[in-house]
Structure 1
């Protein structure tokens, strides 16, 4: 049909108005969509940021609590938080207190994201050098010796005694030494012997099955200070931490439950300070302060730890 025969001739001005209206409507819809998208993204970002902060606070508090009972004679010295648009880093400094002198003992660093994830950035662990023929390869961390323990129920090819090294260390130094006992002792018995030099108590958290397995397949497994469980101050605090973490302890919950079961003989005993078995200690002081323990028959093995100048 040609233009002359069209029933309604085209109105070009009207068509222009319709096109312009459609164009405006499309632009308006695009702008509205962009605004809504921006609002949603911003909202999700702030929600994610808040979730990240809550997760970071909870996990760092829990890590700090667990570090109170894991690791021989180590303690935290504050946490620094660094933030970026999509993540945050919590860096916690660890120290050893050796005769009143704080010695840096590495850092624990965790990265958290607004997507609800977290990961631990591990530092290099303890290391030593030697050959497989060596009777012993001492381990070092942060340039200092790492304490090792000998469990009283484990069989060893050789148990080492570093107390002789005290005679070679200047008495202006302060040293850390781990003593492993020949059996489990009560807190009172340990306090009577070591008194002022006591820095940390090693608690027997092993069960019979683990002891049997280690005796069957290993003849030289020492427990590094990093792996040991115990406490610096009071046994009641040690117990409170275990009970709290067992109830709501995140990644540590299963460990806390297993330790409580081992300490109570699967619930047959009460979890009380007087029922804890102390199988080792960390003592600190000048060499002359520690030499006086050379004649203690309860000491099965002794390993030197960190050393530093007293002044």
Structure 2
């Protein structure tokens, strides 16, 4: 790109029930003198769904669906429930599903409530302040409804498949690392840290509450989420047929 600059391309993929699925590349610019910055943003395709009239978002490279989520304290005029579409898929289809909860839960509560044959992949952490929620609800009008949060706009952590108790700790470590690096995202890490910590002396696993999750499974397995009180909305993500 320049005498002292270069571009790195990271090939990304999602793992859905043991099968890798292509995802858009991440491209960053780096300097020989140190430092790295994102070269391109994550571009989306937005199309109105003819079934329910709500917009769906797609990854521009792979054309796979992108998940979106609904905060439990934000008033939405409409919310999607893609559990109603599971009967359109063949029994062997592997499905990624973004699940929004009706309230805050601890990660351990989520692990206990989600049926065992559904794979928990990722947790959406509630990093919002009271002012954030008030602002989101204040600006809602008949002509300007609240929109769901795209998966690229929220924060959370992956479930550790070998030791779930380490999942929250690794998330806290990542936030702490961001605070220790005086980069351009320091302000955002500081906001997240303070919102999560609240009145506690320091951020600990007990401060982590989740308001959504990403789960995977086959249609019959995911159908067990129907009629669960904790589920507020569901949005399809990647779908794949096994080899």
What TM bracket, shorter-length normalisation?
0.7 to 0.9
Q: 1:229 to 1:119 in 2, by over 3 A?
A: closer
Matched residue, 1:230: 156
Matched residue, 2:164: none
Partners of 2:235 and 2:47 lie apart in 1 by 17
Is 1:193 matched up with 2:98? no
Partners of 1:86 and 1:259 lie apart in 2 by 34
Residues 121-164 of structure 1: CA deviation (Å, up to 9, x unaligned): 21551112349xx8411111121111010000101001111101
Partners of 1:117 and 1:259 lie apart in 2 by 23
Is 1:281 matched up with 2:213? yes
Q: Is the 8 A contact 1:214 1:221 kept in 2?
A: no
Matched residue, 1:103: 21
* Rg (Cα) greater in structure: 1
2:183 aligned residue (238, 242, 250):
250
Is 1:129 matched up with 2:31? no
Of Structure 1 and Structure 2, the greater helix share is in: 1
Is 1:156 matched up with 2:89? no
Q: Is the 8 A contact 1:107 1:123 kept in 2?
A: no
Of Structure 1 and Structure 2, the greater strand share is in: 2
Matched residue, 1:34: none
Q: 1:269 to 1:291 in 2, by over 3 A?
A: farther
Q: 1:155 to 1:295 in 2, by over 3 A?
A: same
Q: 1:115 to 1:186 in 2, by over 3 A?
A: closer
* TM-superposed deviation, 1:120: 2.8
What is the number of residues matched between the two proteins?
A: 226
Partners of 1:130 and 1:299 lie apart in 2 by 24
Unmatched 5+ residue regions in structure 2?
161-166
Is 1:184 matched up with 2:104? yes
Taking structure 1 as the reference length, what is the TM-score of the superposition? 0.68
Q: Which has the higher contact order (CA 8 A, sep 6+)?
A: 2
Is 1:271 matched up with 2:203? yes
2:229 aligned residue (272, 288, 297):
297
Let me know the Cα RMSD of the aligned residues.
2.2
Partners of 1:302 and 1:236 lie apart in 2 by 27
Q: Is the 8 A contact 1:99 1:286 kept in 2?
A: no
* TM-superposed deviation, 1:112: 2.7
